[in-house]
């Protein structure tokens, strides 16, 4: 999952000379395009290869949509860095190789890295908020297109001819995406009872809905107000280190609780479906690698009313995008 690393100090040797490694950025983008193309074919058609030329076309909507959302998110950070005269790398897209039987989206996200010091909390706030807000808008665009261009039930029947059979899914491992407030809201606004709307257990076959859902999931993960995640930058810049540490600690406790509930659910089928074991793993990653505290900036001052409004908007985006149970497996 993407993590945007913003260093608060930089050696003077890096400040003097900084060049983009265009070849590396292009290579990673091309490889990520290929891995997301393959993932798109697997998600939307159920095929595991070898692939024909026509199969590649079926993977394009997924690949292009997911690269669009990740690119918009990271370039939001990048252009905010340029605005504040903070040198930063172009986005590094992170491919995830297709392994048969491995649950993946073809990518682990994308990151940028700042190469010069971020001078104050205003710049920190702008750089931190620009990514998730831009990416969120991209997600909304993709989801609206997906809900307003839903194919008929024959699309799903091409993949699962026995979908409407009483025996469908029995004896197989089932996967269901968890709802978020925004996903439900957009579905209710842009669909109607007369059309076939796929259940959350089949959404991954619909590329725009799958990618839009994934984009909200990634946005929510980045907006968790811990350490140097985007949410950490925003909360630290809006308030101060003490308040940020308190909010980050509460957030970590929440993740641990959701993770433990997910583990309990996996061993004892309570039919509650609240919590996900992956949140516990994410909490461990945050604690040991990203840290709970946010490193200080050289100059801290109160943000303007406009920035505070944007900050509260980012918090609202987190609430709308977060799913306490993003993945539900049934056996």
Give yes or no for residue 34 having a pLDDT over 90.
Answer: yes
Structural contact between residues 241 and 294, judged by C-beta atoms closer than 8 angstroms: yes
Q: Which two three-digit tokens encode residue 98?
A: 């297709």
Contacts 24+ apart (CB under 8 A), 304-311: 307/122, 307/125, 307/126, 307/237, 307/238, 308/238, 310/125, 310/129, 310/133, 311/125, 311/129, 311/234, 311/235, 311/237, 311/238
Per the DSSP assignment, residues forming a β-bridge with 327 are: 177
- Domain annotation covers residue 296: yes
Least confident residue range of 14-28, 54-68, 155-169 = 14-28
The per-residue pLDDT for 283 is 96
Per the DSSP assignment, residues forming a β-bridge with 175 are: 329
Task: Kindly report, residue by residue over 60-111, the tens digit of the pLDDT.
Answer: 999 999 999 999 999 999 999 999 999 999 999 999 987 766 678 999 999 9
For residue 233, the enclosing domain spans 12-330
Structural contact between residues 228 and 77, judged by C-beta atoms closer than 8 angstroms: no
- Domain annotation covers residue 34: yes
Q: What is the mean pLDDT of the chain?
A: 90
Mean pLDDT of all residues in 184-206: 95
Burial 40-78 (b: 16+ CB within 10 A, else e): bbbbbeeeeeebeeebeebbebbbbbbbbbbbbbbbbbb
pLDDT interval class at 200 (50, 70, 90): very high
- Domain annotation covers residue 6: no
Radius of gyration, alpha carbons of the chain: 21
Span between the terminal Cα atoms of the chain, in Å: 26
Number of structural domains found in the chain: 1
The per-residue pLDDT for 313 is 98
Measured between alpha carbons, how far is 154 from 139 in angstroms, rounded to an integer? 26
- Domain annotation covers residue 136: yes
- Domain annotation covers residue 1: no
Mean pLDDT of all residues in 303-330: 96
Measured between alpha carbons, how far is 66 from 6 in angstroms, rounded to an integer? 23
- Domain annotation covers residue 5: no
- Domain annotation covers residue 3: no
pLDDT interval class at 12 (50, 70, 90): very low
- What values do phi and psi take at 47, rounded to 5? -85, 145
Closest CA relative to residue 35, chosen from 20, 54, 21, 49: 49
Segment holding 175, helix H or strand E: strand 174-177
Task: Kindly report, residue by residue over 214-241, the tens digit of the pLDDT.
Answer: 999 999 999 999 999 999 999 999 999 9
Task: Kindly report, residue by residue over 236-284, the tens digit of the pLDDT.
Answer: 999 999 999 999 999 999 999 999 999 988 777 766 778 999 999 999 9
pLDDT interval class at 156 (50, 70, 90): very high
- Domain annotation covers residue 182: yes
The per-residue pLDDT for 247 is 97
Task: Kindly report, residue by residue over 123-143, the tens digit of the pLDDT.
Answer: 999 999 999 999 999 999 999
Give yes or no for residue 293 having a pLDDT over 80.
Answer: yes
């Amino acid at each position: 999952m993407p993590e945007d690393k913003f260093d608060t100090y930089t050696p003077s040797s890096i400040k003097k000379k900084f060049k983009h490694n265009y070849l590396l950025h292009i290579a990673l983008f091309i490889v990520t395009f290929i891995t997301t193309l393959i993932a798109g074919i697997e998600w939307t058609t159920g095929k595991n290869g070898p692939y024909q030329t026509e199969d590649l076309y079926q993977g394009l909507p997924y690949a292009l949509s997911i690269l669009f959302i990740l690119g918009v998110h990271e370039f939001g950070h990048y252009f905010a860095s340029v605005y504040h005269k903070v040198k930063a790398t172009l986005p590094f897209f992170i491919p995830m190789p297709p392994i048969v039987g491995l649950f993946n989206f073809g990518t682990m996200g994308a990151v940028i890295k700042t190469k010069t010091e971020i001078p104050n909390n205003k710049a920190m706030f702008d750089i931190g908020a620009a990514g998730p807000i831009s990416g969120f808008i991209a997600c909304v665009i993709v989801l609206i297109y997906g809900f307003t261009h839903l194919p008929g039930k024959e699309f799903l029947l091409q993949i699962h001819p026995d979908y409407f059979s009483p025996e469908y899914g029995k004896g197989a491992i089932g996967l269901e995406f968890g709802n978020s407030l925004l996903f439900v809201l957009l579905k209710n606004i842009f669909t109607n009872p007369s059309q076939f709307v796929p259940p959350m257990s089949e959404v991954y076959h619909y590329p725009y809905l799958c990618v839009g859902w994934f984009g909200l999931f990634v946005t929510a993960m980045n907006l968790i107000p811990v350490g140097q995640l985007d949410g950490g930058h925003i909360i630290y810049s809006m308030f101060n280190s003490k308040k940020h540490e308190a909010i980050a600690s509460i957030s970590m406790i929440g993740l641990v609780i959701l993770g433990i509930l997910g583990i309990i659910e996996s061993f004892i089928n309570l039919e509650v479906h609240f919590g996900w074991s992956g949140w516990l793993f994410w909490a461990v990653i945050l604690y040991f690698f990203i840290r709970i505290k946010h490193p200080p900036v050289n100059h801290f001052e109160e943000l303007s009313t406009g920035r505070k409004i944007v900050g509260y908007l980012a918090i609202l985006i987190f609430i709308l995008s977060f799913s306490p149970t993003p993945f539900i497996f049934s056996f």
